[in-house]
Structure 1
Amino acid sequence: MAPAAAPAPCRRALPLCALLSLLLRFSSGNTRVMTAVNITWSSINFKTLLQWEPEPTNYVYTVEIDGNLSNRDKTCIHTTKTECDVTNMLENVRDTYTARIYSESPSEEDDYNIPPYGLSSPFKPYDQTEIGMPAIKYFEQKDKTLKIMIADPLTPYRSENGSFQTIRDIFKDDLKYTVYYWKDQSTGKKFVTERSNQFELSVDNGKSYCFYVQATVTTGSGSRNSPKSTEKCTSINREGLDGLDLDTILIIVAIATGVVLLIIILAVVVYKCTKARAAAKKKENIPPNL
């Protein structure tokens, strides 16, 4: 015997109850997650960050890195941020990596085995990391020779002795430096490119020179240049100060100021003494009856 049909008012109430239940589930924030989009790699001297959108509401992200030559591994687990430092996951800089960014609900009632995720574009650190600005470690102009030493930028990775590797340790002969130089107050530039970080340039004796440096790395993906270094000059008026730190310069200024004040004080004392002696001598020359 078939069960009796529900009364009409109850049948009308069932869809309303289901809709109310659905709205309550969404309002709790436990069933709605957004998939990560606009995933980008940002890397300078092998310091690498992953960034994405949107900011999570009532859910979290977990980042998984997968290399062609390495196993998958997770980092930034259950983070509410939209940025993750993945530098330590990419130590094989010649490998190519992809990132999965999982959107995970804190609810235990999720009905999926694998959380939804956004997939990044491939990234190969050796071919794609940007080169940071090089720094001038030392320079000296003597007679007809301008010597320049460049400090190779450091990377986050350490060598076997525990020191940080430089970009030269990794890129080796793929790294070159170009020095652009010119006579001070002149517009005509010359340049020299070397695989070394030390330069000896032939210049005119007695002429001051200015210069800056730029690094270039050439790999399978092409060439990429670093930003230009700060400009340095060897002019006589600036040459000495360029090699001094701020504390030394302040000491020199303080000593110079003290010397100037001492000269002024001595001049005032001498002037007053001279004036006093002149007044005394004038008084001696006045007749007693006056």
Structure 2
Amino acid sequence: MPRAPAGARAVLLIALLCRLAAAGNPELPTAVNITWSSINFKTILKWQPKPSGYFYTVEIHGQMSDTKKKCVMTTETECDVTDALRNVKETYTAHVLSVKSLVEDNFEEPLFASSEKFTPYNQTIIGKPEIQHHTQKDSKLTVVFRDPLTPYMFPNGSFQSVRDIFKHDLEYKLYYWKDQSSGKKDATTKSHTFDISVDNKNNYCFYVQGTIPSRRENRNGQESTVLCTTVGRTILDEYGAEVFIIIAVVAIAVITLTIILAVILCKCKRAKNAREKEPLNGV
């Protein structure tokens, strides 16, 4: 019987050793607690546990797009998958593969765990709007703000805003209230400006929040910084009527005490003068 060539025998030996090595190793742990974290379409995939003696590779599977690999052979437990989700209306599933260093040369499929489905357009959280300036003049409060930006760019290199992607699905709400009051009112706009009628005798505090009314989840975005107007602020607005009552009571007490002391001093002076005018005894 003819013997196989030396090269063929070497290939067979290597393949046998690889299979024996794979059979001799316990199964690798698979990822657990896989979660999507997405704000303004910047999306991070997270999972557990920290690997020891093996690696992770992330595969992004879209319903209508080719599979994309991210964070290949990583020892981290999170991966920025933003640029693999450019079709924001598509629904994706992530596979987190547990792999050995030689897995790419192995014929066996690596073990993996799957994430929940994720649709960026429906699930990313709208970030904080930036309030650019505000004024309160007479009975009108004007607030101008800017949309949050996304990681995605136009061909000219400028960043797209959330409004560029959501378009008419996006609204903003202004929540406002009299300074030092708890009663809130709100107004809605699809532009970048709020013009609100207010009481010109009071200062107002407010914040802006993006919202997608058509959504079932993550409808409301993050709240902007709370700001307050300072036009027409008086001491009464600043400290309240209670302070004025205390000041009035103290003032009355001081005045009363001053009058009493003045009367006592006057009486003492008169008594002293009277004693000085009396003739000395025996003179």
**Which residue pairs with 1:139 in the alignment?**
134
The equivalences for 1:1-290 within 5 A come to: 32-107=27-102, 113-222=108-217, 224-236=219-231
Aligned partners of 1:109, 1:95: CA distance in 2, in Å? 28
- Tell me if structure 2 keeps the 8 A contact 1:41–1:123: yes
State the secondary structure of the residue aligned to 1:92. coil
Aligned partners of 2:196, 2:232: CA distance in 1, in Å? 21
Aligned partners of 1:151, 1:162: CA distance in 2, in Å? 19
**Which residue pairs with 1:284 in the alignment?**
none
- Tell me if structure 2 keeps the 8 A contact 1:65–1:98: yes
Which whole-Å deviations, capped at 9, do the CAs of 1:109-161 have from their partners, x for residues lacking one?
98752111111111000001112122211111112211101111111111222
Measure how far apart 1:107 and its partner are.
Answer: 4.2
Residue identity in the other structure for 2:66: N
- Tell me if structure 1 keeps the 8 A contact 2:201–2:232: no
Aligned partners of 1:158, 1:175: CA distance in 2, in Å? 19
Which whole-Å deviations, capped at 9, do the CAs of 1:62-89 have from their partners, x for residues lacking one?
1111111211111100101110000000
Measure how far apart 1:42 and its partner are.
Answer: 0.7
State the secondary structure of the residue aligned to 2:98. strand
- Tell me if structure 2 keeps the 8 A contact 1:53–1:82: yes
State the secondary structure of the residue aligned to 1:236. coil
State the secondary structure of the residue aligned to 2:121. helix
State the secondary structure of the residue aligned to 1:226. strand
Q: Unaligned stretches of 5+ in structure 2?
A: 1-20, 234-283
Which whole-Å deviations, capped at 9, do the CAs of 1:38-81 have from their partners, x for residues lacking one?
11111111110111111111111111111112111111001011
**Which residue pairs with 2:279 in the alignment?**
none
TM-score by length of 2: 0.69
- Tell me if structure 2 keeps the 8 A contact 1:30–1:58: no
* Number of matched pairs: 213
Measure how far apart 1:183 and its partner are.
Answer: 2.1
Q: Please provide the CA RMSD for this pair.
A: 2.5
- Tell me if structure 2 keeps the 8 A contact 1:98–1:123: yes
- Tell me if structure 1 keeps the 8 A contact 2:179–2:228: yes
Aligned partners of 2:216, 2:177: CA distance in 1, in Å? 32
State the percentage of identical aligned residues.
Answer: 53
Which whole-Å deviations, capped at 9, do the CAs of 1:235-281 have from their partners, x for residues lacking one?
1388xxxxxxxxxxxxxxxxxxxxxxxxxxxxxxxxxxxxxxxxxxx
**Which residue pairs with 1:270 in the alignment?**
none
Measure how far apart 1:184 and its partner are.
Answer: 2.0
Aligned partners of 1:109, 1:119: CA distance in 2, in Å? 20
TM-score by length of 1: 0.67
